[in-house]
Amino acid sequence: MIRSLRVLILQNHPMHRMIAVEQLRAMDCTQVYVARDGASALALLRTLGAVDVIICDMNMEGMDGLEFLRHVDESHLACGVILFNLMAADLRWSVQQLLALSGLKILGDLGQPMKLQSFAILLRQYIELRDGYIASDSTATNLPSLEMIQEGLCENMFKPFYQPKFNLSNFVPCGAEVLARWDHPVLGVLMPADFLPLIAKYDLLDELFAQIFEQGVAFQAHLLLRGYRLQLSYNLDAQQLLSLELAGRIKDILYRYALPATLVTFELLETGLIGDSRASMENMIRLRMMGCGLAIDDFGTGYSSLQRLCDFPFNQIKLDMHFISNMDLPVYRAAITSTLAMAKALNMTMIVEGVESDMQRRQLVQLGCTLGQGYWYAKPMAHLAMIQWLNEADTGCIKHF
């Protein structure tokens, strides 16, 4: 509850301090502390101890907000921060990006003047975030062990889930991404974050990929016999490309199920393609020669995007969802349109990740984008649910989230 929160207001303008205090008290927040500059705020925190949330003015005489929050982070004197300033939009965004590198949770930016409704929403979000962390900590001991993962691989417990991709204008599905899930008999369906780090650590990626890929290809072949050509994309780790047997194993599975290689695309994280490798390049070329597609995933998050597009035989770009979630900023809209223009010039397709609302979809269409993927359209689903979803898509009965 908001009443239980300890909140510090750091604001050098007396009127703004008073307004913030009144708004917090109107929300029944009783543990409110105030300071007018960074030095006095640090002294107060070192006396009081850590608070839940700091509402922080960034433009102050003497110690500015950035320096103050750096000291707060180093001394673990707060959990969340709400920014409160009059800076330009692009500078406010840069400040948020910088603070995101710290251990502080950036809850939002109120701007000025503050609105009571926004204030309350941000504080409630902090409470939900805090309670969520408590809940996740309490279940941490139930995470799977290496022995459980090995048993899961032996018993074929790992299953493919499918998240559809679609045409942004007419909503027609154009394929799906295959995502690994662990259907554990006791713990339920586990997400990749629960098992992938351990699988990578103990060099079990090839075993996991083999299970997911073969099940996905069998599913595609089943659909193909019924006249439905479903394009699927599979994730490959950069380390897997170092094996000169990779392309051959993929070719054998495709041959066994009589599935055209043109229905398969492999997505590689841009951040994983760090160094040039003869084996990696050979595998990528062989896959393309077979007819498979190659997509550079999370494009725009690495440090050598253009170099990788030039060096490796990609034919698809998947634009990272970070650009879509920040489309309100002109610099991100420019990045989207310029990436789309580059993809067209290179004769590549571009898929936009993270489409979560109809407003985002319409904005992307206005920018010239044609293909997307995201929760607004469909969440990842198991194969039986996917078959039902495809049937509904054919009849125009799809309901978007």
Q: What is the spatial distance between Cα 62 and Cα 50, in angstroms, rounded to a whole number?
A: 23
Q: What is the spatial distance between Cα 1 and Cα 123, in angstroms, rounded to a whole number?
A: 9
Q: What is the spatial distance between Cα 325 and Cα 320, in angstroms, rounded to a whole number?
A: 9
DSSP state of 28: T
Query: Is residue 69 a contact partner of residue 102, using CB atoms and an 8 Å limit?
Result: yes
Q: Is 247 or 128 the better-scoring residue by pLDDT?
A: 247
Tens digits of residue pLDDT in 99-152: 777 777 888 777 655 555 567 777 777 776 666 544 444 344 456 788 889 999
Would you call 78 helix, strand, or coil by DSSP? strand
Q: Among residues 213, 274, 265, 290, which one has the least CA distance to residue 242? A: 274
Residues 331-354, mean pLDDT to the nearest whole number: 94
Q: What is the spatial distance between Cα 115 and Cα 119, in angstroms, rounded to a whole number?
A: 6
pLDDT at 141: 44
246-249 contacts, C-beta under 8 A, 24 or more apart: 246/283, 247/282, 247/283, 247/286, 247/287, 247/290, 249/210
Q: What is the spatial distance between Cα 116 and Cα 120, in angstroms, rounded to a whole number?
A: 6
| Res. 304: pLDDT tops 60 | no
pLDDT at 96: 74
Bridge partners of residue 317, in order along the sequence: 296, 350
pLDDT at 114: 57
Query: Is residue 369 a contact partner of residue 352, using CB atoms and an 8 Å limit?
Result: yes
Would you call 50 helix, strand, or coil by DSSP? coil
Q: In what order do the strands lie in the sheet with 78-84?
A: 31-35, 6-10, 51-57, 78-84, 105-109
Domains of the chain, start order = 2-138 (3.40.50.2300), 143-394 (3.20.20.450)
What single letter denotes the amino acid at residue 275?
Answer: G
Q: What is the spatial distance between Cα 125 and Cα 105, in angstroms, rounded to a whole number?
A: 11
- pLDDT confidence of 276, banded at 50, 70, 90? low
Q: What is the mean pLDDT of the chain?
A: 85
Residues 38-53, mean pLDDT to the nearest whole number: 90
Query: Is residue 270 a contact partner of residue 299, using CB atoms and an 8 Å limit?
Result: yes
Comparing 27-36, 193-202, 260-269, 312-321, which segment has the lowest mean pLDDT?
A: 27-36
Q: Is the peptide bond before 113 cis (omega within 30 degrees of 0)?
A: yes
Q: Is 165 or 148 the better-scoring residue by pLDDT?
A: 165
Whole-angstrom CA distances from 93 to 10, 21, 71, 96, 98 are: 20, 26, 21, 5, 9
- Tokens 């301090």 belong to 17
Would you list the DSSP string of 289-302?
Answer: HHT-EEEEEEETSS
Q: Among residues 110, 116, 66, which one has the least CA distance to residue 86? A: 110
- pLDDT confidence of 17, banded at 50, 70, 90? confident
pLDDT at 135: 44
Single pTM value for the model: 0.71
The beta strand positions in 118-203, using DSSP E, are: 158-167, 173-184, 188-190
**H or E element in which residue 349 lies:** strand 349-353
Would you tell me the crossing angle of helices 14-26 and 116-138 to the nearest 10 degrees? 60
Q: State percent of the chain over pLDDT 90.
A: 44
Comparing 143-147, 193-197, 337-341, which segment has the lowest mean pLDDT?
A: 143-147
Residues involved in catalysis: 353
